[in-house]
Amino acid sequence: MTLRLGPGESARFGRGSSTTPVELRLADAAISRLAGEIRATDDHWQLSNHSTTHSYLVENPEGAGEYLRVPPRRAGAPIPFEFSRVVLPTRRDTTVSFQVFAPDHLYLDPQGMGGPGESRTVTAYSLDETATYFLVLVVLCEPWLRDESPVAVPTTPQVVERLRGHAACARLTPRAVSSHIDYLAEEKLRIDVPQTAETGRGDRRNGKREAVVALALRFGIVQEEHLALLPPRAARGW
């Protein structure tokens, strides 16, 4: 499931019950009925740990092992990562986790830096070129950048296969790619792909990928120089 939170909105997570409703239900006996809460702000999010005994980890999947530990009873811990994985301990061999995409991070326009704060210009599309979602975007645009006259946008399995040789994407899954595409479309590039009665889920996802590629190429968000971010292609191409 996916929860969307605007600035100032919050969502509680935990095992939940009829008397303790939660927006994000985590079905594990070792997790409290009300384990914690996340709150969105203008450009980051906060995590409150309601456990009295267990710390929670917030991992940065794109930061080569970077993580934060939120101790028991910590309220409103600010999380700076743009893409995070919240990990809760359990009594099983595996942990319980969920992902959080932060509110849109803003970046200063390189041409607009140096002036007073109130007059500085921010970029219209604030993308982090070191993030996995940007690599996914480059792969989606790659056939056009290489002038290969493509007939369709690369599929999710093709994106996974194309990035398999990248050190940061060895464990990338189709579900993760779909999440990155959703994040690009809905948060970074702010593209609305309405669903009609005639449009199924697969058609909507294809339309979202095509809209992301069209906007990225039209405004030069992804350019030929960004192909250097991708691993070398096999001789057979895709």
| Same-domain pairing of 19 and 70 | yes
Residues 62-79 pLDDT 10s: 766 789 999 999 999 999
Q: Could you write out the DSSP letters of every residue in 78-109? A: EE--SEEEEEE--SSSS-EEEEEEPSPPP-B-
| E strands, 71-186, in order | 77-79, 83-88, 96-101
- Domain membership flag for residue 117: no
Residue 235 forms part of a structural domain: no
State whether 89 and 140 are in the same domain: no
For residue 108, being part of any structural domain is answered with no
**Global pTM value:** 0.66
The answer to whether the beta carbons of residues 211 and 143 sit under 8 Å apart is no
Residue 4 domain-assigned?
A: no
Using only C-alpha atoms, the chain has a radius of gyration, in whole angstroms, of: 20
Could you tell me if residue 196 is inside a domain? yes
**Whether residue 88 sits in one domain with residue 169:** no
- Number of independent structural domains in the chain: 2
Q: What digits encode the pLDDT tens for the residues 22-35?
A: 999 998 888 999 99
Write the CA distances from 172 to 87, 127, 144, 157, 188, integer angstroms.
Answer: 18, 20, 23, 10, 20
- Say yes or no: 96 and 149 in one domain: no
- Whether residues 147 and 205 fall in one domain: yes
Mean pLDDT across 73-92? 89
Q: Tell me, yes or no, whether 40 and 86 share the same domain.
A: yes
Same domain as 63, residue 16: yes
How confident is the model over 33-42, as pLDDT tens digits? Answer: 999 999 988 7
3-state DSSP assignment of residue 157: helix
Q: pLDDT by residue (tens digit) across 140-184?
A: 999 999 987 667 899 999 999 999 999 888 888 898 899 899 889
What is the pLDDT confidence band of residue 16, given thresholds at 50, 70 and 90? very high
* Residue that the structure tokens 């095509």 belong to: 210
Q: Residue 217: which domain range? A: 132-229
CATH number, domain of 60, equals: 2.60.200
> What type of residue sits at position 232?
P
Task: Decide: residue 51, CB within 10 A, 0-12 exposed, 13-18 middle, 19+ buried.
Answer: buried
The dihedral over CA atoms of 195, 200, 206, 208, expressed in degrees to the nearest 10, equals 20
Within-domain flag for 48: yes
Does 50 map to a domain?
Answer: yes
Q: Are 81 and 74 in contact (CB under 8 A)?
A: no
pLDDT (mean) for 119-148? 83
